[in-house]
Amino acid sequence: MNNITNNFSKEFFDNLQVLEDRAKLLQENIQASTQKTQLEIQFSLSEIRTNLNAVKHEFEKYRTKLLKHFAEQESELKPNIEECETSHKFQKLENRADRAERYASTAIFLAIATIEEAEEAALAATSRRRDADAARES
């Protein structure tokens, strides 16, 4: 493999590791939330919402990029690759590879962002369930 491919592969696998670590942390946080007080849950929820709101615009930008990349990939056809190869238009293939790498990186970033949103949703659900349970017991 060439250096560019090696660099991309390393970055991609590093990002996958971040995603895996974040998913494990989410699981631990959700399990721990059942042992937290309502005040602790509300505090955690407030922190998460603040963080999500701070990067919401960036998440939307990446979602838009992901949809654009997906549309571009759909429009690329195999004959274009063969044409590039036979015409020695390697720059087109290089650009295509760059776009595919950006697409993969964007998808990983959005997966991480989605985990953040899932944590917020899980804590909100726990909090609301506790409110409902408290109201029923009253």
pLDDT tens-digit readout, 38-97:
888 889 889 988 988 888 888 888 888 888 877 777 676 555 666 666 666 778 788 888
The answer as to whether 9 is a domain residue is no
The answer as to whether 57 is a domain residue is yes
The answer as to whether 18 is a domain residue is no
Give me the residue label for tokens 């509300």: 42
The answer as to whether 25 is a domain residue is no
The answer as to whether 1 is a domain residue is no
Note the pTM of the prediction, 2 decimals.
Answer: 0.60
The answer as to whether 21 is a domain residue is no
Cα–Cα dist 61/47, whole Å: 22
* Residue at 39: amino acid letter: L
The answer as to whether 10 is a domain residue is no
Average pLDDT, the chain: 82
Cα–Cα dist 93/85, whole Å: 8
What range defines the domain where residue 84 resides?
Answer: 38-127
The answer to whether the beta carbons of residues 113 and 55 sit under 8 Å apart is yes
Angle between helices 3-33 and 90-137 (to 10 degrees): 0
Number of domains in the chain: 1
The answer as to whether 54 is a domain residue is yes
